[in-house]
C-alpha cells in the first residue's frame, strides 16, 4: 500500500493506518535485540556480583517511571497530549492523570494509550511493562489480533474493529 492509497482508504473509512516514524522493521528488530541483549548482560553481571549493593552502585540501576517514558514518547513522536487523547479514545482526565503519574492505566487503557502515541510493538510492550500490566502475548487470540494491528501501524479505531470482527472484546467500550 502506498502512502496515497493509505490516505485514500482513511478517507473512505476502510483502514486507519498511521504513519510510522521508523518504518524499517529491520532497525526496530535490531533495537529490540540490542535491548534484550543489554538486559541479559545486566542480569549476568547481577548474578555474578558478590553483593547486590555493589551491582546497584556500579550499574546505576533505577526504576523507570511510566510518566517519564510517556513524556519521552510524546517528544520523540512529535505529539501533544491533546492529540494522544483524540487518537487513543480515552477520557482526557484519565490521560492527564496517567501522564502526571497520579494513576496507572489498566491493560486495555495502556494499549489504547500506546496506540494513541503511535507506538511500535517494542514501545508498546515496554509501556505495558512500565504500567505494571502483562505484555501482549501472541498465544492469546485477542493479543495476537492487537499485535498484528500494532505491527502494521493501525489506529485504535481499526484495532477495535478487528477485535469485533473476530468476536473479541474491544479495547474501549462503545459509548
The whole-angstrom separation of Cα 162 and Cα 146 is 8
pLDDT at 147 over 90: yes
The whole-angstrom separation of Cα 117 and Cα 152 is 14
Q: How far is CA 14 from the centre of its chain?
A: 23
pTM: 0.72
pLDDT at 29 over 60: no
Q: What was the pLDDT predicted at 21?
A: 45
Helices (H), 13-65: 25-48, 52-59
Q: Is 167 exposed, middle or buried (0-12, 13-18, 19+ CB in 10 A)?
A: exposed
Q: State the DSSP H helix or E strand holding residue 81, giving kind and residue range, or none if neither.
A: helix 81-88
- Residue 110: how many other CB atoms lie within 10 Å: 23
- When pLDDT is averaged across residues 136-164 and rounded to a whole number, the result is 96
Q: Hunting for cell 494513541 — which residue is that?
A: 116
Q: What is the pLDDT of residues 102-115, one digit of tens each?
A: 999 999 999 999 99
- When pLDDT is averaged across residues 166-171 and rounded to a whole number, the result is 97
Q: How confident is the model at residue 35 (pLDDT cuts 50, 70, 90)?
A: low
Q: What was the pLDDT predicted at 50?
A: 86
pLDDT at 39 over 80: no
Q: Hunting for cell 504500567 — which residue is that?
A: 131
Q: Do 157 and 170 contact (CB within 8 A), yes or no?
A: no
Q: What is the pLDDT of residues 1-22, one digit of tens each?
A: 443 344 344 433 445 555 544 4
C-alpha cell recorded at residue 20: 510510522
Q: What is the pLDDT of residues 119-137, one digit of tens each?
A: 999 999 999 999 999 999 9
Q: Tell me which of 123 and 174 has the higher pLDDT.
A: 123
Q: Looking only at Cα atoms, what is the longest distance across the chain? A: 62
Helix/strand/coil for 154 = strand
Q: Hunting for cell 485514500 — which residue is that?
A: 8
Q: What is the pLDDT of residues 49-103, one digit of tens each?
A: 888 888 777 766 656 689 999 999 999 999 999 999 999 999 999 999 999 999 9
Q: What was the pLDDT predicted at 43?
A: 81
Q: How far is CA 72 from the centre of its chain?
A: 12
Contacting residues for 89 by C-beta, under 8 A, at least 6 apart: 112, 116, 156, 157, 171, 172
Amino acid at each position: 500500500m502506498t502512502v496515497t492509497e493509505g490516505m485514500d482508504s482513511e478517507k473512505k473509512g476502510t483502514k486507519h493506518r498511521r504513519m510510522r516514524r521508523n518504518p524499517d522493521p529491520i532497525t526496530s528488530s535490531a533495537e529490540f535485540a540490542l535491548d534484550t541483549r543489554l538486559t541479559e548482560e545486566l542480569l549476568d553481571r547481577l548474578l555474578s556480583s558478590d553483593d547486590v549493593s555493589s551491582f546497584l552502585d556500579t550499574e546505576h540501576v533505577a526504576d523507570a517511571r511510566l510518566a517519564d517514558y510517556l513524556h519521552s514518547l510524546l517528544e520523540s513522536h512529535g505529539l501533544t497530549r491533546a492529540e494522544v487523547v483524540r487518537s487513543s479514545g480515552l477520557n482526557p482526565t484519565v490521560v492527564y492523570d496517567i501522564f502526571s503519574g497520579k494513576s496507572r492505566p489498566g491493560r486495555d487503557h495502556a494499549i489504547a494509550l500506546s496506540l494513541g502515541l503511535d507506538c511500535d510493538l517494542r514501545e508498546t510492550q515496554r509501556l505495558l511493562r512500565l504500567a505494571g500490566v502483562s505484555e501482549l502475548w501472541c498465544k492469546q487470540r485477542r493479543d495476537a489480533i492487537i499485535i498484528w494491528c500494532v505491527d502494521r501501524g493501525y489506529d485504535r479505531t481499526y484495532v477495535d474493529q478487528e477485535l469485533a470482527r473476530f468476536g473479541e472484546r474491544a479495547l474501549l467500550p462503545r459509548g
